[in-house]
Chains A and B, each alone.
Chain A
Amino acid sequence: MEFKDYYKILGVDADADDKAIKAAYRRLARKYHPDVSAEEGAEDKFKELSEAYEVLKDTDKRAQYDLVRQQGGAGPFRPPPGWESSGGGAGGAEFEGGFSDFFDEIFGQARHGSRQGYSRQHFARRGEDVELTLAIFLEDAYRGESRTISYEVPGFDEQGRLLRQQRTLKVKIPAGVIEGERIRLKGQGAPGIGDAPAGDLYLQIRFAPHPLYLVEGADLTVTVPIAPWEAALGCKLPVPTLDGLINLTVPANSQNGKRMRIRGKGLGKDDKRGDLYAVLHVTMPTTAGAKEQALWRQLSDESSFDPRDNWGKS
């Protein structure tokens, strides 16, 4: 088992006082807290930090740890002969992932198992909530399809041993869900212990990238390439929506980048129903035949349009 140098983890000296330990922990915790940090491996780093702090902030635990540290220091940690961890017995398993084996070896599992105050006399505990990410297609989100999902829940067998159970569930995705939305399936999480109820299952919706649409909350954006003459003269264009094609009327003299709203063709539902935006992208032909070129030239001669009018003239 690997020896953990808690002082090194917190970046403090072995004779650091409580104040220095607290300050070091707080500084590093802000940096690596998984809810705050975008750094890679932040979660592991934070777990290490909180384990180190859990020991060093507590006078008894720190003294116990210092003893181990003096005896073993570097190299793999082996508990000294006759060493018995002070907790003993299997406490409640923590699904969030408890502390390291090294910690358990010194302080026993029950110590941190009891942090959450489980009473072992009449052990009943609501099952864990289970959270899954469900990647779906925009089309399915729009219509509300049903999907079959498989997942694992932690449970216990009759001897109280931890095991994983496979679950399969058919779920109706509510029409109009948006990215990041959480769907709750009551009682479909991990089974409860004793008489306690089961936890819930949460499905967090993620959209698979769509070749046509960009998604912003309940609104969708589609880029519509159009020819310069279509933008100049105006036209009616078939535009794909999640509901099928609709005819979009492009007014004459439309600018490149013009955003046109197609009401109610987004995601969401009821009063939160989003819209579809069609953004015009005037696209030039890359080649022009002699006749086309002549027409452009004619336009050039006829037109008084100066796109650089506001540059000022010297």
Chain B
Amino acid sequence: MSETSYYLTLTELTQSVRVTTDTVITIVDCGIVQPRGEQPQQWLFEPQMVKLIQRACRLQRDLELDWPAVALALDLIEDLHKLREENQRLRRQLAILMELDTSL
């Protein structure tokens, strides 16, 4: 049985995403992710944050954005994602209600 390990340290994160410590510090400073712990050496990142940081790095590199713009883009993407999900959920709920009404 494989054990799941939850948090990543800063070192593990930089190896996994292949980013520099400085970049991670900038990303945290911009509020893109908020790791646990006070000092960078104590930081603990959730697996979810790895993906967000990868995405941030891609956007920064590919769209030649500065970091605050990356943070803004990620917030907007997140909002859009939530709205899409909510929309889908409401549609499903509506479908259930309509089915209840017609199936009787």
A interface with B by C-beta (< 8 Å): 26, 29-30, 33, 35-36, 46, 50, 116, 126, 129, 146, 169-172, 174, 180-186, 188, 197, 199-200, 202, 209, 214-216, 221, 223, 225, 281, 283-286
Contacts and interface: CB of A to CB of B under 8 A. Distances in A.
Contacts of B77: 35-36
7 contacts: A35-B58, A126-B15, A172-B2, A174-B4, A182-B48, A188-B2, A221-B93
A146 B4 CA distance: 12
A33 B48 contact: no
Contacts of B5: 184-186
Interface string B80-99: 00000000010011001100
Q: In terms of DSSP, what is the predominant structure of the interface of chain A?
A: mixed
Given A197-B15, A202-B50, A33 B4 contact: no
B4 A36 contact: no
Interface in B53-104: 55, 58-59, 62-64, 73, 77, 89, 92-93, 96-97, 100-101, 104
Nearest to A25: B64
Contacts of A33: 58-59, 62-63
A182 B47 contact: yes
Contacts, number: 84
Interface in B7-42: 8, 15-16, 18
Nearest to A116: B18
Nearest to B96: A223
B49 to A, nearest CB: 9
Contacts of B59: 33, 35-36
B1 A172 contact: yes
Nearest to B59: A35
A185 B8 CA distance: 11
Given A174-B4, A184-B4, A184-B8, 13 more contacts: A26-B63, A29-B63, A36-B73, A129-B16, A129-B50, A171-B4, A172-B4, A180-B48, A182-B46, A184-B50, A185-B3, A185-B5, A188-B2
Given A29-B62, A197-B15, A181 B48 contact: yes
Contact of A281 (B50, B51, B63, B100): B100
B63 A30 contact: yes
B59 to A, nearest CB: 6
B2 A223 contact: no
B100 A26 contact: no
B104 A286 contact: yes
A172 to B, nearest CB: 6
Nearest to A170: B1
Contacts of A174: 4
A130 B102 CA distance: 46
Contacts of A30: 63
Contacts of A182: 46-48, 50-51
Contact of B92 (A199, A214, A284): A214
A171 B3 CA distance: 7
A223 B47 contact: no
A249 B55 CA distance: 47
Contacts of A285: 104
Nearest to A36: B77
The 9 closest A-B pairs by CB, nearest first: A182-B47, A184-B47, A186-B5, A286-B104, A126-B15, A35-B55, A170-B1, A183-B4, A169-B2
